[in-house]
Amino acid sequence: MRIKPKSPREALQPEPAPAPPQRSRHVRNPLVILINLVITLAVFGLAGIGGALYFGKQKFEQAGPLTEEATVVISSGAGLSGITDSLAGKGVIEDSLFDEWIFNLGIRFYKNATKLKAGEYAFAPGASMHEVMTDLVEGNAVTHSVTIPEGWTTAQIIERVREHPTLTGEISEIPAEGELLPQTYTFARGTARQDIIDQMKAGQEKLLSEIWERRTDGLPVSTPEELVILASIVEKETALADERPRVAGVFVNRLNKKMRLQSDPTILYGLYGGEAWLKDRSAIKQSELKAENEYNTYQIDGLPPGPIGNPGRAAMEAVANPSRTQDLYFVADGTGGHVFAETYEQHQENVRKWRRIERDRRQAEAEQDQAEEPATSN
């Protein structure tokens, strides 16, 4: 192939650029253009959604607007929107459509919309939406309590439960004397009063069954119910925990010897029932002692027909496993406890000592009252 020589001038001239390649027919297709547009929009949409999720997560987990602790009561059946309104109304979350929207979406994102529990909740300052959600899902509600002292009668217990301000509803079923377990019960606001009573009854049944299985041999009680009767008497005779087994031992010894129990509290319960201890009583009157009374263990043999209160765990365990002594008597010793005796003669001497203590106390009180009387002027 012959090469045509160029003149110097022609050699200095730039050669023309090659023509651009012809566009593919596929690129010019409207369907391809539409697909490209959809892909572009999807990429931007996913990026936007990702950004929104990231921002929403940050907002859901950041500190909330509370500056001091707030208590919110979530009623049963409130629903997510009602719960949100309650929280916003108390300032737990910002009272704005945007923040309420974030809270609602966050709850639904974690699939907890149907898991939020009713109750009374105390939220700390700065609690985040996530922390609020966790408390509502786990039911970390504020708890209240009611304390039932050992030995209280059912009438006293029912009255205390009825008076508790955070419990709700009426008590429709009142258990029999001795069927309730005295202790402290915790519950959330709005708990039904009947539920607390049912819990006391179930607790007593369970505990009594366990204690009965562990009882010592040779007891003069043939049923769990009789154990409760004797325990209720022990409960009323002494408030000292370390004395209960010994007091129980005295009554067990007397029952085994076919002696009457001669317990003063049984007199009062037989005459006044559950109201017997609503007033202070320093001594049993002769008229009360002689009055006909099926509970009066000075008049009847063996156990009374039922408990005279609701004994606690310690008293029932004392009866199930009493002290092994020969004691048959006890009387107050002036210090809050009792002095025990095996014979009637020893007991009589202990009674005389107790009466001297009582006499000295009355004399000291009279002298003190006289010293405190204001002087009169002529």
Average pLDDT in the 355-375 region?
75
Confidence of residue 174 (pLDDT cuts 50, 70, 90): very high
What does the pLDDT read at residue 23?
60
Q: Which amino acid is at 117?
A: K
Average pLDDT in the 292-299 region?
94
End-to-end CA distance of the chain: 161
pLDDT in tens, 264-293: 999 999 999 988 887 766 678 888 888 889
Greater confidence (113 vs 28) lies with 113
Is it the case that residue 228 has pLDDT exceeding 70?
A: yes
pLDDT in tens, 102-149: 999 999 999 999 999 988 999 999 999 999 999 999 989 899 999 999
What does the pLDDT read at residue 370?
73
Average pLDDT in the 152-156 region?
96
Lowest mean pLDDT among 37-41, 158-162, 293-297: 37-41
Is it the case that residue 366 has pLDDT exceeding 50?
A: yes
Lowest mean pLDDT among 47-61, 82-96, 150-164, 194-208: 47-61
Cα 257 to Cα 347: distance, rounded to the nearest angstrom: 17
What does the pLDDT read at residue 188?
87
What does the pLDDT read at residue 314?
96
Give the other-Cβ count within 10 Å of 167's Cβ.
21
| Torsion (CA) 158, 160, 161, 167 in degrees, nearest 10 | 160
DSSP 192: B
Is it the case that residue 200 has pLDDT exceeding 60?
A: yes
pLDDT in tens, 34-55: 666 677 666 666 655 655 566 6
What does the pLDDT read at residue 376?
47
What does the pLDDT read at residue 19?
67
pLDDT in tens, 85-106: 999 999 999 988 888 999 999 9
* Domain boundaries of the chain, sorted by first residue: 70-138, 143-209, 224-363
Instruction: Please check whether residue 168 is in contact with residue 191, taking contact to mean a CB–CB distance below 8 angstroms.
Output: yes
What does the pLDDT read at residue 278?
79
Percent of the chain with pLDDT over 90: 63
Domain 70-138 has CATH 3.30.1490.480: yes
Instruction: Please check whether residue 323 is in contact with residue 241, taking contact to mean a CB–CB distance below 8 angstroms.
Output: no
Instruction: Please check whether residue 178 is in contact with residue 200, taking contact to mean a CB–CB distance below 8 angstroms.
Output: no
Confidence of residue 357 (pLDDT cuts 50, 70, 90): confident
Which of 16-30, 38-52, 214-228 tops mean pLDDT? Answer: 214-228
Cα 180 to Cα 202: distance, rounded to the nearest angstrom: 8
Greater confidence (164 vs 7) lies with 164
Average pLDDT in the 248-258 region?
97
Name the average pLDDT for the chain: 87
Greater confidence (189 vs 3) lies with 189
Instruction: Please check whether residue 71 is in contact with residue 143, taking contact to mean a CB–CB distance below 8 angstroms.
Output: no
327 φ, ψ (degrees, to nearest 5): -65, 140
What does the pLDDT read at residue 33?
64
Average pLDDT in the 311-327 region?
97
Q: At what angle do helices 30-61 and 97-109 cross, to 10 degrees?
A: 100
Convert 6-26 into a string of H (helix), E (strand) and C (coil): CCHHHHHCCCCCCCCCCCCCC
